[in-house]
Homo-oligomer: A and B are copies of this chain.
Amino acid sequence: MRCAYCNKEAEIYVENLGSWVCEEHFERYFLKRVDRVLRRVRRGSSLLFGISGGKDSIAAIHSTDLLKEKYGFRIGAVMIDTGSDECLRVFNELKDMLGFEGEVLSLRDWGIEIPRDPKLACFVCGVVNRYLLNRYAVERGYDYVATGHNLDDMAYFGLNNLIKHSLDYLLYQYDSVTEPVPELRMAGKVKPLFWLSDSDSLSYVKLKGLPRCSTKCPDGLDKQAIIKPILYEIRKKWPPSLVNFVSSIRELVRMAEHPQRKVNLCERCGYPTSGKICAFCRLKESIGGLR
């Protein structure tokens, strides 16, 4: 099989293109799409990566690192310790390899424990991640939190929020870059893999020989486990369909005239919330109590 762009042997299948490409053109394809996101971030910004150790966060930080000089970015990373030694090892290996500023955050230091019930665990993990990444970024002077969310995640979020009729996430978060709001102590958000799929980031970490952690969170009960395969089925039939789906929703959202989101500072911790007490502080009260 020949590469779709040159005469070389094609080694990697790119689902969103429906084409096989050689290693060189795959890397070009991948970095071009990461660049499409990064060029929207203000030059000279500092980006804090939340690293889980899985293929996506690893591919996101590694590819951004390759492009950071171009935009004068400072890169740092944190890992939230969920008890996997393998993930910690991957984090440290990557830190040595790329030489970024990095830290491991322990939930125990924050008085939080992830519950064993997988359904509850997902919710807690989500709240804790969002909160700690933002807080750490703001406290250490990072402008943006960068995450490994990819196109398949965005397609899932899009469809899931449409079928739940919950437009809030779409209206306020459905983009590859959202700007920081310093007066509300909100870091911006960057998703370097916004235009790349699950299989692309897997191909990337394999191609680059990067370490990655194989520990998976228990998502058997998850809606993702039903909706993502459905989306993949659509893409198998029409390769550009998920890229189009995500662009379409993003475009509709951008055209939508909607009120500013109501955000206050939490009465307990001083970080953003739409109510009086933020979800993290409420969580700490209800399931924490370790301090």
Interface residues of chain A, those whose CB is within 8 Å of chain B, are: 159, 161-165, 167, 170, 226-227, 230, 233-234, 237-238, 241-242, 244-245, 247-249, 251-253, 255-258
Contact = CB atoms under 8 A, between A and B. Distances in A.
Quick one: copies of this chain in the complex? 2
A247 B163 contact: no
A253 B245 CA distance: 15
A237 B224 CA distance: 13
B244 A163 contact: yes
Contacts of A251: 165, 167
Given A165-B245, A165-B248, A227-B234, 6 more contacts: A162-B245, A163-B245, A164-B244, A165-B244, A230-B230, A230-B234
A242 B163 contact: yes
17 contacts: A159-B245, A161-B248, A162-B249, A163-B241, A163-B245, A164-B241, A165-B244, A165-B247, A167-B248, A170-B252, A230-B233, A249-B252, A252-B252, A252-B253, A255-B257, A256-B257, A257-B257
Contacts of A257: 255-257
Given A255-B256, A255-B258, A163 B238 contact: yes
A30 B237 CA distance: 35
B252 A167 contact: yes
Nearest to A241: B163
A17 to B, nearest CB: 15
A258 B251 CA distance: 11
A67 to B, nearest CB: 26
Contacts of A241: 163-164
A253 to B, nearest CB: 7
A256 B171 CA distance: 11
A244 B233 CA distance: 22
Nearest to A165: B244
A259 to B, nearest CB: 10
A171 to B, nearest CB: 8
Contacts of A227: 234
A213 to B, nearest CB: 31
A81 B156 CA distance: 43
Contacts of A252: 167, 170, 249, 252-253, 256
- Give the most central of A159, A164, A241, A248: most B CB within 10 Å: A248
A163 B234 contact: yes
A222 to B, nearest CB: 13
Contacts of A245: 159, 162-163, 165
Contacts of A255: 255-258
A50 B237 CA distance: 33
Q: 3 shortest A-B CB distances, which residue pairs?
A: A255-B256, A165-B244, A163-B241
- Give the most central of A161, A163, A226, A234: most B CB within 10 Å: A163
